[in-house]
């Protein structure tokens, strides 16, 4: 059924777009999302009406801004905060580098840009106290405009017997010195829901409002609210907390609601952008955590509430006005004719430069040069894009002449180096070139097809995967017209947070990969890649 003009349909950013931070500049809205171990870092999306959204790029596009070499799966970029003040966009982000036992090694940085498209500055290091940091631009006491800036973040406490989510810390940021100054104040311990994180501050009617994610990011996730007359507290909890959660209704289409930020429209209406999930079988969310939006009203006591009542997220929400013209959709097929990869593509942990992913060495092709194995957290050659619908088809054609079994290239459905499926060409003992299928579930690698299929007679091999909810199947073709299944039906639900290792926060990606364990950089040429939502 078509939506009425002026209706928001959730999720507004389907697929792997978690931890939204939203801000408005004039009539334009922008959202920044976590990207974890995928590079470039921090996806940036734009809307004119809160209904239609377009991804416009990434903030962290250089190794000098983000070096995730060796970062763990679901490490890297956690919960960025996007804001606008003093004629600049400000972006705070966390790079999570390790976690072992009770320890987490994190680094918080700040970058700025004159426009959402950049150029984004070199990063200023803030601290390593905790993750999910944000920046609040306070107004001057006399109302003259620019005031003090405050860095807000959760505190990670590694000590035995302590609550690891050690409350919300506040510290002043010195713009001229580009560093944090003055005392650190723990302003809020969280509510009884626990696991307080994702803090954002805003000021309204003389109150400082603190919104926080609590309860963990899975089924018990929620967003809570507290307020104070002074920025350093004490903060009182909102009666009837949380603001939003999916806990009371496990059948609500939007689960795990929480972790978001409030935004005001030009007309003075309020909305809340938050993450949510849409689980399929066994409570697993192959699409990952997505971005949704709810309308907010302020009650008689001055607290924010969901406009439709209660605390459950809604799929359909009134927009602040009529729908603007939708953005142009990306073409289903990328023929690799442009001088740079499109905004839909990302790589693992490090940028893919011309030495490893070339669009110029063979014009009209993406040439991938093999590096380490598909489970490497260091130098891996893999290019992928988000799965954004429950039923999708991804196809490509590759030319690859391996010289050894240590060289591989092909098509992937990829959640992490611990969870993926890989349809690949290689050189086994029985053929010059053969097609094999590899699976990895929670770090255990197995082969759904025992013996690789001889394709030595083909100059190019067409590869396809189709995912329908929790069902995944791979196909091959000699001409791109007639397709044959490579194996039986596979379980796509293993490509989800809920089934991956204990700390897992991303979503399934589909794309292309190439490995050369000999170190000689054997290349594979991909003529095109086609992604369709069926």
Domain ranges within the chain, ordered by starting residue: 7-318, 333-533
Superfamily of domain 7-318: Glycosyl hydrolase domain; family 43 (2.115.10.20)
Q: What pLDDT does 146 receive? A: 74
Q: What pLDDT does 5 receive? A: 73
Residue-wise pLDDT for 123-182, tens only, equals 999 999 999 999 999 987 766 667 899 999 999 999 999 999 999 999 999 999 999 999
Percent of the chain whose predicted confidence (pLDDT) is above 70: 99
Q: Any bridge partners for residue 244, and if so which?
A: 223
Residue pLDDT tens, the chain, 534 long = 445 679 999 999 999 999 999 999 999 999 999 999 999 999 999 999 999 999 999 999 999 999 999 999 999 999 999 999 999 999 999 999 998 889 999 999 999 999 999 999 999 999 999 999 999 999 877 666 678 999 999 999 999 999 999 999 999 999 999 999 999 999 999 999 999 999 999 999 999 999 999 999 999 999 999 999 999 999 999 999 999 999 999 999 999 999 999 999 999 999 999 999 999 999 999 999 999 999 999 999 999 999 999 999 999 999 999 999 999 999 999 999 999 999 999 999 999 889 999 999 999 999 999 999 999 999 999 999 999 999 999 999 999 999 999 999 999 999 999 999 999 999 999 999 999 999 999 999 999 998 999 999 999 999 999 999 999 999 999 999 999 999 999 999 999 999 987 789 999 999 999 999 999 999 999 999 999 999
Q: What would be the CATH architecture of the domain defined by 333-533? A: Sandwich (2.60)
C-alpha span between 453 and 466 (Å, rounded): 20
C-alpha span between 513 and 422 (Å, rounded): 9
Q: Are the CB atoms for 426 and 410 separated by under 8 Å?
A: no
Q: Terminal CA-to-CA distance of the chain, rounded, Å?
A: 17
Q: Tell me, rounded to whole angstroms, the distance of Cα 190 from its chain centroid.
A: 25
Helix (H, G, I), strand (E, B) or coil at 464: strand
Q: What pLDDT does 140 receive? A: 78
C-alpha span between 302 and 468 (Å, rounded): 45
C-alpha span between 509 and 505 (Å, rounded): 13
Q: Tell me, rounded to whole angstroms, the distance of Cα 271 from its chain centroid.
A: 21
Whether cis (ω within 30° of 0) applies to the bond prior to 234 is yes
Q: Which residues are catalytic?
A: 19, 197
DSSP class of 75:
-
DSSP class of 281:
G
C-alpha span between 219 and 283 (Å, rounded): 9
Q: What pLDDT does 39 receive? A: 98
């Amino acid at each position: 059924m078509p939506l009425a003009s002026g209706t928001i349909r959730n999720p507004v950013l389907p697929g792997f777009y978690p931890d939204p931070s939203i801000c408005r500049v004039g009539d334009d809205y922008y959202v920044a999302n976590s990207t974890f171990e995928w590079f470039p870092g921090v996806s940036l999306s734009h809307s004119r009406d809160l209904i239609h959204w377009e991804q416009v790029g990434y903030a962290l596009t250089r190794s000098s801004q983000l070096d995730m070499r060796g970062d763990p799966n679901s490490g890297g970029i956690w919960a960025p905060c996007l804001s606008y003040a003093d004629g600049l966009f400000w972006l705070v982000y966390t790079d999570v580098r390790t976690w072992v036992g009770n320890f987490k090694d994190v680094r918080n940085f700040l970058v700025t840009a004159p426009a959402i498209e950049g150029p984004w500055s070199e990063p200023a290091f803030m601290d390593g106290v905790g993750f999910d940091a944000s920046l609040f631009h306070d107004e001057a006491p006399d109302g003259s405009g620019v005031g003090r800036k405050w860095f807000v973040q959760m505190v990670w406490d590694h000590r035995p017997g302590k609550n690891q989510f050690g409350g919300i810390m506040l510290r002043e940021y010195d713009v001229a010195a580009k560093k944090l100054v003055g005392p650190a104040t723990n302003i809020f311990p969280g509510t009884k829901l626990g696991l307080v994180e994702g803090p954002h501050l805003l000021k309204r009617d003389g109150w400082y409002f603190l919104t926080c994610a609590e309860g963990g990011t899975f089924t018990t996730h929620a967003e809570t609210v507290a307020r104070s007359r002074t920025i350093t507290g004490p903060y009182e909890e909102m009666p009837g907390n949380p603001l939003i959660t999916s806990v009371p209704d496990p059948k609500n289409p939007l689960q795990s609601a929480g972790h978001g930020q409030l935004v005001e429209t030009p007309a003075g209406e309020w909305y809340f952008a938050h993450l949510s999930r849409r689980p399929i079988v066994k409570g697993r969310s192959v699409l990952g955590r997505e971005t949704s939006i709810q309308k907010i009203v302020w009650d008689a006591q001055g607290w924010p509430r969901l406009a439709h009542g209660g605390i459950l997220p809604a799929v359909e929400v009134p927009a602040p006005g009529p729908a603007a013209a939708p953005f142009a959709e990306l073409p289903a097929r990328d023929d690799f004719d442009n001088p740079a990869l499109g905004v839909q593509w990302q790589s693992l942990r490090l940028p893919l430069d011309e030495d490893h992913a070339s669009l110029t060495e063979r014009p009209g092709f993406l040439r991938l040069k093999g590096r380490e194995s598909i489970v490497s957290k260091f130098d891996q050659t893999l290019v992928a894009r988000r799965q954004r619908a429950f039923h999708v088809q991804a196809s490509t054609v590759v030319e690859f002449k391996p010289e050894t079994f240590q060289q591989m290239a092909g098509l992937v459905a990829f959640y992490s180096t611990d969870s993926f499926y890989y349809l690949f060409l290689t050189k086994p003992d029985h053929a010059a070139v053969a097609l094999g299928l590899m699976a990895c579930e929670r770090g255990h690698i197995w082969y759904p097809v025992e013996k690789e299929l001889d394709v030595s007679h083909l100059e190019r091999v067409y590869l396809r995967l189709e995912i329908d909810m929790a069902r995944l199947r791979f196909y091959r073709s000699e001409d791109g017209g007639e397709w044959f299944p490579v194996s039986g039906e596979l379980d796509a639900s293993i490509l989800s947070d809920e089934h991956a290792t204990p700390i897992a926060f991303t979503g399934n990606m589909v794309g292309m990969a190439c490995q050369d364990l000999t170190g000689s950089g054997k290349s594979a040429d991909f003529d095109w890649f086609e992604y369709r939502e069926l």
